[in-house]
Amino acid sequence: SFQVHAGHELIDTWVKTGYMEPLTFLYKEEGWEKVMPPGILNIVKYKDDYWSVPVNIHRANVLWFNKSIFKKYDITVPKTFDEFFAVCEKLKAKGIVPIVMGTKDGWEAGHVFETFLIGTLGPEGYKGLWTGETKWSDKRVTEALVLFDKMLNYINTDHSALTWDEAGQYLVQEKGAMMIMGDWTNGWFMSKKFEDYGWGLAPGNEGVFDALSDSFGLPKGCKNRENVIAWLKVLGSKEGQKEFNMKKGSIPARTDVDMSDFNAYLKSCAEDWNKDKIVPSVIHGAAASEGWTTEYKDAIALFVAKRNIMKTQKSLIMAAEDAGIEQ
């Protein structure tokens, strides 16, 4: 077996091309349909069959911050874009890097930008980008690019040399105040024994859960098929999901796992998963095909370097058309 993001990365790359065995029989035997919510079941399903076992839920749209810096300068967690930029301006005046980002691996800027799209379009408008219901020429996409461009005035100048976790060192060392990144950051903070962090949501993202899931499937013709099935049963079990997620810094895909041993962030995340509007992450394979995701990622990476709003929006329109979505 192998790890694959649930959603289009799984379905378009591996299922439609005929590489995987359906796992519906396992879902029936193990009763997983009763303990996993529709939000996750729907993205591992294709043509009435389930194709992988989700081991976790990650949230992509988290705003992490250094608590000591926020306390020192009497800052509350910004919820709107106006509040966010007011905080950025205040921190910049104090000599603190307001928002940190690492763009070395090419996907990180696209990750942050998807939260800006959610912030300007709202959950339904954002989801519509991947189905054709929302056009990429929409003025709210332009607004997201304008706001993202403004944010780039407040990031660390060495972003192109850093991965996301290397950029996170700014928060650990109290040199930077905020970072928009998925909640694997929570697991990374735990591994660093760093506890001086708080969290909110990316600007304009209140009440929205930008979701992705790590999952494992059953490749056709794999060796030791029975061992793979036994492994998948462990991954889908209460015990397996608890042990995995305690270390990964994510929440279980199952809703019946005892969360009492999880840290404060993960407890709050589990509560939000059950009440917020769920949208699929594009940069992590849930919202669009792998080819479309790559074009999106490359367009935003180039935008960080060139900062051409009109050209970038045209590139995003073309990426959707290349994916077969009429614009």
Q: Looking at the structure, do residues 79 and 221 belong to the same domain, yes or no?
A: no
CA dist., res. 128 & res. 151, Å (int): 25
Where is 300: in which H helix or E strand?
Answer: helix 290-306
**Residue at 275 is within a domain:** no
Q: What is the CATH number of the domain that holds 167?
A: 3.40.190.10
Q: Looking at the structure, do residues 188 and 307 belong to the same domain, yes or no?
A: yes
CA dist., res. 43 & res. 280, Å (int): 9
Q: Looking at the structure, do residues 121 and 169 belong to the same domain, yes or no?
A: yes
Measured between alpha carbons, how far is residue 75 from residues 22, 66, 198, 204, 266 in Å? 50, 11, 12, 18, 23
**12 with 292: CB under 8 angstroms?**
no
**Residue at 44 is within a domain:** yes
| Percent share of the chain, pLDDT over 70 | 100
Q: Looking at the structure, do residues 222 and 249 belong to the same domain, yes or no?
A: yes
Report the amino acid identity of residue 286.
Answer: A
Q: Looking at the structure, do residues 91 and 15 belong to the same domain, yes or no?
A: no
Reduced to 3 states (helix: H, G, I; strand: E, B; else coil), residue 85 is: helix
**Residue at 86 is within a domain:** yes
Measured between alpha carbons, how far is residue 258 from residues 40, 235, 240, 262, 291 in Å? 19, 16, 12, 9, 38
CA dist., res. 175 & res. 156, Å (int): 10
Q: Looking at the structure, do residues 222 and 205 belong to the same domain, yes or no?
A: no
Number of Cβ atoms within 10 Å of the Cβ of 297: 21
* Measured CA angle at 199 (ends 196, 202), to 5 deg: 140
pTM over the 0.85 mark: yes
Q: Write the DSSP string, 89-150.
A: HHHHHTT-EEE----TTSSHHHHHHHHHHHHHHHHHHHHHTTTTSS-TT-HHHHHHHHHHHH
Q: Looking at the structure, do residues 50 and 161 belong to the same domain, yes or no?
A: no
Token pair for 148: 């993202």
**Residue at 274 is within a domain:** no
| Nearest residue to 250 (alpha-carbon basis) of 216, 212, 286, 276 | 212
**Residue at 278 is within a domain:** no
What pLDDT score does 247 carry? Answer: 86
| Nearest residue to 45 (alpha-carbon basis) of 20, 65, 70 | 20
Domain C-terminal end among 229, 245, 269: 269
Phi and psi, residue 127, nearest 5°: -60, -35
**Residue at 279 is within a domain:** no
Q: Looking at the structure, do residues 224 and 202 belong to the same domain, yes or no?
A: no
**Residue at 327 is within a domain:** no
Q: How many domains does the chain fold into?
A: 2
Number of Cβ atoms within 10 Å of the Cβ of 7: 28
pLDDT in tens, 113-138: 999 999 999 999 999 999 999 999 99
Q: Looking at the structure, do residues 149 and 193 belong to the same domain, yes or no?
A: yes
Q: Looking at the structure, do residues 105 and 181 belong to the same domain, yes or no?
A: yes
What's the mean per-residue pLDDT of the chain? 96
Query: CA torsion, points 153, 157, 162, 164, in degrees to nearest 10?
Result: -30
Q: How many CA atoms within 13 Å lie on the side-chain side of 141?
A: 22
CA dist., res. 14 & res. 66, Å (int): 40
What pLDDT score does 127 carry? Answer: 97
Write out the chain's pLDDT in tens, 327 residues.
Answer: 999 999 999 999 999 999 999 999 999 999 999 999 888 999 999 999 999 999 999 999 999 999 999 999 999 999 999 999 999 999 999 999 999 999 999 999 999 999 999 999 999 999 999 999 999 999 999 999 999 999 999 999 999 999 999 999 999 999 999 999 999 999 999 999 999 999 999 999 999 999 999 999 999 999 999 999 999 999 999 999 999 999 888 999 999 999 999 999 999 999 999 899 999 999 999 999 999 999 999 999 999 999 999 999 999 999 999 999 999
Q: Looking at the structure, do residues 195 and 262 belong to the same domain, yes or no?
A: no
4 strand-pairing partners? 215
**Residue at 280 is within a domain:** no
Reduced to 3 states (helix: H, G, I; strand: E, B; else coil), residue 292 is: helix
| Percent share of the chain, pLDDT over 90 | 97
What pLDDT score does 204 carry? Answer: 98
Number of Cβ atoms within 10 Å of the Cβ of 213: 27
Phi and psi, residue 70, nearest 5°: -60, -40
Q: Looking at the structure, do residues 78 and 175 belong to the same domain, yes or no?
A: yes
Domain that holds residue 241: 3-58+212-269
Domain C-terminal end among 230, 245, 269: 269
Token pair for 104: 């070395």
